[in-house]
Amino acid sequence: MYRLLSNVADLVARGLALAGGTVLVALIALTCVSIAGRALVPLDIGIGPIRGIYDMTEIGMAAAVFAFLPWAQLRELHARVDLAQRTIPVRMNLALDLLFNIAMALVAAVGTWRLYLGMLDKLSYGETTLIAQIPVWHGFAAGLVGAAGFVLVSLFCVLRASRRLAGFED
């Protein structure tokens, strides 16, 4: 059962990271096209910058950041302070890892819950971005996909840390 959960967590984290990377590449392409269009404005040939590129970049960057969180959590790549790690006994390090994974799972769950409530708020008011008039809740919904994946992967990491503390190998 653990192996299945490990594979699912890896699939979720990897899939979201690839989706986040795809979003970043698309934003790079859009930005390049917009800059080229802006450079062609003086030629007066009807080509200009992409309207609302800043709005699209904001939404895309937020979605990409949330999409990368599960991968960072699964691979234990979040910033950590290891000042005393070598001086603490192995079992205490494993217990601290479990504690930190529980804390991260709680932070992920609360953050996702608040993001969901924010999305509902933006949806109810019908707020849109200034230039492109994109409904703001779309950005929240895009981030919510990665945030939900972050919760799932964080819960798996709590299980993994528990198993390490209990002496099971991955």
Q: Where are the domains of the chain?
A: 2-166
Query: Residue 61: how many CB atoms within 10 A of its CB?
Result: 16
- pLDDT (0 to 100) of residue 45: 83
CA distance 76 to 60: 24
Residues in CB range of 9: below 8 A, 6 or more apart? 70, 74, 152, 153, 156, 157
Q: Between residues 83 and 12, which one has the greater pLDDT? A: 12
48 near 127, Cβ under 8 Å?
A: no
The structure's pTM equals 0.90
Please tell me the distance from the alpha carbon of residue 102 to that of residue 125, in angstroms, as a whole number. Answer: 35
Model confidence over 117-161: pLDDT tens digits?
A: 999 999 999 999 999 999 999 999 999 999 999 999 999 999 999
pLDDT more than 70, % of the chain: 99
Mean pLDDT value across residues 76-87: 78
pLDDT band at 82 (very low <50, low <70, confident <90, very high): confident
